[in-house]
Amino acid sequence: MPYRDTPVVCSVCGRTFIWTVTEQRQAAEAGLPLVKPELCPRDRMRDPLTGRWLGRVKWYSPEKGYGFIIRGDGEEIFFHRSGVLPPGPAYLTEGTPVTFEIEETVGAKPKAVEVALVTPPAEEEGTGADGQAAA
């Protein structure tokens, strides 16, 4: 099947984006099925459950009280320790996965706020953890 740039309407923001030949070829070469993406590249960088942005800590300086997060598209976003949720900035070591919101102020660069650690999914507790609901 020849690859072709395909316009797709994003199911989140409703904008049309192009599913490019390059993306299609990369998926094919990686052995992935050629399934049309539902989200534009921008919305793919969001946590589908919470809608929050996903990224990793590039660095954080406890002395300076600020650092940078790298979002999925490579964009580096400033954050200050006052914008970090508990347990606090001490846990923000290089490479730590985080979720965050972006605060945009006119005349200033966007900054990350409500920065939070990505917590692993909670363990299932109690009985009936085999996927069957107990009657």
> Would you tell me which residues interact with Zn ion (CB under 5 A)?
10, 12-13, 40, 43
**Closer residue to Zn ion in complex, CB, 73/124:** 73
**Closer residue to Zn ion in complex, CB, 47/94:** 47
CB of 77 to Zn ion, least distance (A): 19
**Closer residue to Zn ion in complex, CB, 10/27:** 10
CB of 66 to Zn ion, least distance (A): 29
Please name the residues in contact with 53: beta carbons below 8 A apart, sequence gap of 6 or more.
45, 46, 47, 71, 99, 100, 101, 102, 112
Using CB atoms within 10 A of its CB, is residue 81 exposed (0-12), middle (13-18) or buried (19+)? middle
User: What tokens were used for 69?
Assistant: 């997060």
